[in-house]
Structure 1
Amino acid sequence: MSKPLIDVPKEKLQQVRMDMFRKVQREKKIKKRIVSVTFIAILCLSLILSIRVSPTIASRVAKISGFQAIVSAIAIDKGIKDIVPKGEDFIEVDFGTKEILMKPNYFNGDISAAPQSVSVTMNKDNQGKFLMFSDAIKEDGTMLEFKGISISRDEQYVVETTQFEEYNGRAKLYLNYYANPIGKNIELNIPLQ
């Protein structure tokens, strides 16, 4: 028993084949475009993020002709701006009279002098800020030697006391005062020697 043959019009079959072929070609083109656009978008996004994160990359890209305006619009780092105004980045102390002769206006903690030490008292609300002396210079221009640092805390205040070598004259204590970029509740153990 043989099955009867179905009569399929050849033109109709050819038309269906061509329609399917065009549909597949269209889908391939769309897929290629999506991949290309996605790749370009990722490339642009990575360039933008690199410029925002790295001043080195930003300066290199800015040297490419036509990119200066783009870099200046995108870059976060508009140049390093310290919170320390020029000329006021030190505390002047008279260890003989135990007086603080000068402190920066931007520093909001209390500073007191004792024999061979300087104490900085900050409210616990400002605990996310640190004060670190970078150098201590005597009146004659020689270095005043650091001997150690101690930190004490109570419910309201944090007191940082820095000890120096025995000295009874004036000295400038250069400082770095900055906000903690990580957040509260950080402890640093910095050996002095």
Structure 2
Amino acid sequence: MSDGQPAVPRRSGAEVSVHGRTWLAVAAVLLTTGCATENPPVAVPAAGPVTVEAAAASSGGACRLLDFTVIARQTGARFDVAAASDSGDTHTCVVRSERSLLPELTLTVTDTSIDKSTFTLDVLPKGAKKVTRLGQVAYRRTLPKTGKLGPAAEVGWLATEGRLTTLRWTSPRAADTAQAEEMAGRLIALAKTLDTRAL
């Protein structure tokens, strides 16, 4: 039957769906293009270099026994550079500030078979003061200025596992002996935090 109007062919559901998706895709492209034209991309500045402080232990050797934070807590000085070296049975770590050569802290650990008596007779420096509750036997002393170096403070001890260990603080030239003597007391506190068995 016909009412005089031309017949409109019926479209299948699949055809309608395809045409619908096509129009949606075209609309999305137009919207995206329009946004890109109206709002150009914003340039983001490149991030600057990030400085990361390396731990003293990252230098290896005897430096594995030291920590910049612990050193600062015990001595009041901040260091950020560490260097390790080994020579036979002796392991050394030197720490200092990148900004200046002094003060400088040096840790030396030597494997040894000496006992307390031998330490007292052959290692204990003349005029040094004995230190209690540090290793098997220990001492502290101060040294005068030499050349361009200020006075030094030193703490030495025979660790319980048979390692001869010393901590030496070398002061700037302007420091005096009283300051070195005070630092010797601080080095004792630092020495008691070290576990030479970890080396």
Please report the TM-score for the alignment, with normalisation by the length of structure 2.
0.26
Q: Which has the larger radius of gyration?
A: 2
Please report the TM-score for the alignment, with normalisation by the length of structure 1.
0.27
